[in-house]
């Protein structure tokens, strides 16, 4: 049983690991699921997304695995009503309807008796409630859930696992060799996000902090792109933030090589957008700034694994 639901400010930073397999390393996706595991189902909805089956108070729900969402879990208003038969009191303006406008239902929360995923049970949990502009999932599993369960998310084998001990965890992870890159992640004590230090285009002086995300495309923040002389190319769309912000998204004008510790990880052509405007967050200065998000496109291409445990 797993208890607890949050990451407290000031907590000692937690170390996890991002593994990226080589292009030739193609794991068997048809092998039976290990104990305490659930299949990842991939959908394309504003980029690639990984969804798992879960249960809330005994009701089956589909949950997006979201390593860039700062809560334990959330449900849409309709899903919360399906579970407990009550409408949720609005506490703030947040969440989007299917018209990509702020939902009049806003954001609130409920407490549930049980949240169960892959036989990992959290009891008496606070669940955020707000609307989403999609019908492809009913809610999300956020950072606090990934950290408290110590989940292992494997895009190569399309599974999410909750290892019961160190031996079970080791059996789930790729062996680090010439074909597998292991990138240490440090959990930010303020936001709870898992961060890695990467350099761009082979420049060791360009080391920047990137969030190890599990959703969408890899994104460079507009300020990071400007600092490193990476120009914007064609506009590829608009990004609608959950607080109502609308920001333009462009494709980088040329491919960008990402490296860690002098080892080249991948070369892709990321999106460029204002990640701080998207989340209605003030842009910090100096070393606190986040340069972008490593998205599900990278994890899928390199059949990546994120170990959110110690």
310 pLDDT band, cuts 50/70/90, is low
Query: What is the percentage of the chain residues whose pLDDT exceeds 70?
Result: 94
What is the per-residue pLDDT for 250? 97
Cα 208 from chain centroid?
18
Is there a shared CATH topology between the 28-172 domain and the 180-307 domain?
Answer: yes
Q: For residue 263, is pLDDT > 50? A: yes
From 294, 261, 291, select the one nearest 276 (Cα to Cα).
Answer: 291
Cα 195 from chain centroid?
11
Q: How far apart are CA 295 and CA 210, in angstroms?
A: 10
The class (CATH top level) of 180-307 is: mainly beta
Q: Where are the domains of the chain?
A: 28-172, 180-307
Task: Round the average pLDDT of the chain to a whole number and report it.
Answer: 90
What is the per-residue pLDDT for 8? 32
Q: Quick one: CATH architecture of 28-172?
A: Beta Barrel (2.40)
Q: What is the pTM of this model?
A: 0.91
CA angle 18–75–41, rounded 5-degree value: 45
5 pLDDT band, cuts 50/70/90, is very low
Q: How far apart are CA 255 and CA 218, in angstroms?
A: 12
Q: Give the mean model confidence (pLDDT) for residues 143-150.
A: 95
Kindly report the backbone phi and psi dihedral angles of residue 146, in degrees, each rounded to the nearest multiple of 5, phi listed first.
Answer: -60, -40
Per the model's pLDDT, the better-predicted residue between 11 and 59 turns out to be 59
């Amino acid at each position: 049983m797993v208890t607890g639901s949050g990451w407290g400010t000031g907590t000692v930073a937690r170390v996890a690991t991002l593994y990226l397999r080589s292009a030739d390393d193609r794991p068997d996706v048809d092998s039976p699921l290990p104990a305490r595991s659930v299949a990842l189902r991939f959908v394309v909805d504003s980029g690639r997304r990984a969804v798992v089956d879960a249960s809330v108070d005994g009701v089956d729900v589909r949950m997006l695995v979201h390593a860039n969402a700062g809560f334990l879990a959330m449900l849409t208003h309709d899903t919360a009503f399906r579970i407990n038969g009550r409408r949720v009191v609005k506490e703030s303006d947040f969440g989007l309807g299917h018209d990509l406008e702020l939902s009049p239902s806003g954001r609130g929360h409920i407490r549930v008796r049980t949240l169960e995923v892959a036989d990992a049970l959290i009891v008496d949990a606070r669940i955020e409630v707000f609307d989403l502009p999609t019908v492809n999932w009913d809610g999300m599993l956020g950072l606090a859930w990934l950290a408290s369960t110590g989940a292992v998310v494997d895009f190569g084998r399309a599974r999410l696992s909750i290892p019961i001990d160190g031996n079970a965890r080791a059996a789930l992870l790729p062996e680090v060799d010439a074909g597998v890159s292991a990138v240490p992640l440090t959990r930010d004590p303020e936001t709870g996000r898992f961060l890695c230090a990467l350099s761009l285009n082979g420049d060791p002086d360009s080391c920047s902090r990137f969030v190890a995300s599990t959703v969408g495309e890899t994104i460079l923040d507009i300020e990071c792109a400007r600092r490193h002389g990476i120009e914007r190319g064609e506009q590829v769309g608009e990004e609608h933030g959950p607080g109502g912000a609308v920001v333009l998204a462009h494709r980088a004008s040329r491919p960008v090589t990402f490296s860690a510790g002098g080892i080249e990880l991948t070369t892709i052509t990321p999106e460029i957008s204002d990640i701080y405007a998207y989340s209605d967050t003030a842009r910090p200065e100096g070393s606190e700034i986040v340069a972008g998000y490593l998205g599900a496109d990278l994890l899928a291409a390199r059949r990546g694994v994120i170990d959110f445990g110690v």
